[in-house]
Structure formats: structure tokens, C-alpha cells
Amino acid sequence: MSDLPGIVITGASGRMGQMLIRTVTESDKARLVGAVERAGHDWIGQDLGTAMGGAPSGVIVTDDPLEAFSGAQAVIDFTAPAATREFAKLAAQARLTHVIGTTGMDEDDIAALKPCARHAVIVRAGNMSLGVNLLTQLTKKVAQALDADWDIEVIEAHHNKKVDAPSGTALMLGEAAAEGRGIALSENRESGRDGITGARKRGAIGFSAIRGGDIVGEHDVLFAGLGERIILRHVATDRAIFARGALKAALWGQDKAPGEYDMMDVLGL
């Protein structure tokens, strides 16, 4: 039996689930040992490779996460907030590295991870790509250099199946801008403008979301001053960038102490 870290993918049939399965399967640094889907899903009990329209893989899709986690070293989870909360408890029980890409988690969801991080290495980020994590650092630096005469707006675009807004990435970028400016995002966030909104509040950090077609993910951080604008932009054209980052995080977590980490820790940024 190989001693490469064994990885389980949750939400196996999803857009990211399938991309993660391909990424882990093609990697020579890890092996795919489990695939989890929701009870009642068509894929349950089927060979994963066959379900994905390819050759048999030897991994049977299960709706029993605890069973899948028991033979693994890491779980990569891009699903939904309620599912991620449940997976976090089970990953802690099995002492796994839990890589969380799920977005749209509220304060309660995030607080629920804390006790799990006493037993599991949790790496969570709204975006696992190298490019966006670099952009986050750049955003913080630019915001540090500019005062509130420069209005900050985060504009994001995603495919028409996305269920949460602003995107996890937009919130990461907004947090970085707020940190650079030395303010709390929660007290300065402005989103969903419609109707007679009144003039823009000085110092606000604005968010706008576009949804359409098959857009993978695009993010602009706009710094609008008097007579000039700076735009920092990231364009994702392939979901493989998120999957590669997530696999890197799962491997990185193997020799770390339990706790909560993000992609900045993984990438050393």
C-alpha cells in the first residue's frame, strides 16, 4: 500500500468536486481514497471513475463521510456551509487535515469550526489560487498607501449557478483593503445599492456582484481617486487553479499542529 497521503473529496459530483478528483488522481504526491456525496444522490454506490464517465477508479462514492474519513489523512471540501460544519466535526474526530473552500459561511458557521480546530488542521480560504492570494497582499499594500479620498470598490463576476454574494474572494479582498486602511470591514461595508441610496459614505468599501453564463471568477479592486483610478484585477479562466491550491494545502497540513490556517500560511505570503 502506498504511503502517499490519502485524500477524500466531498461534494464529489460538483463543479469543484470533479475538478478536485481529477487533480488528486493526476498527482504523484497524494492518492484519492474516498468520494462523498449527499444521501440519495445518483452516484452513491457507484464507482467514481465510471460515474464521471471514465474508467473505473476503485473508489466507490459514499454518503457516509465518517467511514470515508477513517481511512484518510485529509479531506478537501468545497460544498455548502451546513455540510462543511458537519464535515468539520467528523474531520476533527478522525484527526484529518480539513481543507475548506466552501464560501458563504456566516459568523456562526465560522465560530463552529473553532472547537474542531483543536483536533484538526483546518485550512480555509475564500480562494485557493496563488494569483488571488497575491492580489490580496497587493490590495492591502495599496490601501495602506492611500487615504479615504480614494474610494474602494470590489467588483466580482461569476457563473449563473453561484449561490452566494459577495463571493468569498471579494470578502477576502475587502478584508485586506480594510486592514490596509486600518478600519473594520464590518463597520464600513456597503453592498446591494439600489434606488435613492444617497451619496457614497466616505471611507466605505463597496461590493458589487455580476452573475452570468459560465464565468469562472473575476475580481477587480478599484481605488477611485480624483482624476485617476487604480484597478487591481484577477481573472480565473480554469477551476484547476483552485484545485491545485487546495491539494497544496492538504499536503502542507500533514505535519502541522491542529489549528486554523489560511492560504497565506500555506503559500508563505
Ligand X SMILES: O=C(O)C1=N[C@H](C(=O)O)C[C@H](O)C1
Ligand Y SMILES: NC(=O)C1=CN([C@@H]2O[C@H](COP(=O)(O)OP(=O)(O)OC[C@H]3O[C@@H](n4cnc5c(N)ncnc54)[C@H](OP(=O)(O)O)[C@@H]3O)[C@@H](O)[C@H]2O)C=CC1
The residues of the shown chain that bind ligand Y, judged by CB under 6 A, are 10-11, 13-17, 36-38, 41, 78-80, 83, 101-104, 125-128, 168, 242
What's the DSSP call for residue 11? S
CB of 239 to ligand Y, least distance (A): 6
Longest alpha-carbon distance in the chain: 65
**Residues in contact with ligand X, shown as a per-residue x/- string from 122 to 161 under the rule CB under 6 A:** ----xx------------------------------x---
C-alpha 98 chain-centroid distance: 12
> What nine digits make up the cell of 40?
440519495
Of ligand Y, ligand X, none, which one does residue 38 interact with (CB within 5 to 8 Å by kind)? ligand Y
**Residue 79: is it exposed, middle or buried by C-beta count within 10 angstroms (0-12/13-18/19+)?**
buried
Residues 198-227 that bind ligand X (CB under 6 A): 217
Strands (E), the chain: 6-10, 31-36, 61-62, 74-77, 97-100, 121-124, 151-158, 189-191, 205-211, 217-224, 229-236, 259-261
Told to check if 169 binds ligand X by CB under 6 A, we report yes
Catalytic residue among 162, 219, 234, 248: 162
Of 23, 84, 103, 136, the one binding ligand X by CB under 6 A:
103
> What nine digits make up the cell of 90?
467528523
Q: Which residues contribute to the annotated binding site for (S)-2,3,4,5-tetrahydrodipicolinate?
A: 159, 168-169
By annotation, the residues acting in catalysis are: 158, 162
Instruction: Point out which residues bind ligand X (CB under 6 A).
Output: 103, 126-127, 158, 162, 167-169, 217
